[in-house]
Structure 1
């Protein structure tokens, strides 16, 4: 039979470590997005400084476990100790929203020539990319782009990338499942 005192004691130790890791995460800002790695799976990148809860320059398995437990607790909005599909989706939505907001801010910073904090159609068109992209797609230079020209461009791009163009789950190490 399992000794309940040992289970309660171990749970309290794990909770204390998780709270310490949570405090370290709070010092570094919102880490919920850190749960999402490059392919959108739970696990995230190894954030040494956030995981080194005691600041000793070493990360133990207990610190990693506590860090992950704290991240999971941050996602567990109803506090039931389990992650529902809705809670996981909300985590992904928060991370995607943050990335989109950051990207939009960088875009405005780069392209806002009049400094009003917004992009006009003229500022958007001032970028060299739309004209170059149109020229690249209009293979026969007739001033119009056909579906065939777009398909041919996609095919050329796929050939240059080793046939991987359009693979929705391609990461830094190739398509998922082929690593």
Structure 2
């Protein structure tokens, strides 16, 4: 197997593995709207229902948010904490979306119930020829980030 084929196989395996979160996320405009609403609430510091230029600039300052002790320097611990916070938020959103029995945890059955490999493959196979080319795979990843027009 060539290294190009190995990379392609790895990427497909990664997509299938992470497809649960990304597929559900890409399919759910409601969840995007919820995240936008959360972001708006964080930016609206004075809770007046609008975001001023000052509030926007303060909210957009990732450095300041990461600099927990306010010393103007980012340590490995501060960066790690920022990443951990994001991971915890993503995990909580995923559980909220997929936890059908409300127990606060995800079973394999709950995850599998929301994942449809055939549908994921159909979305990847942009030209409907029954195979996914490297270009289609790359385009699908770009589309997940919202940059590909006409997502199927």
TM-score by length of 2: 0.41
Looking at secondary structure, tell me which structure has more helix per residue.
2
Name which structure has the greater RCO, CA cutoff 8 Å, separation 6+. Answer: 2
TM-score, length basis structure 1: 0.36
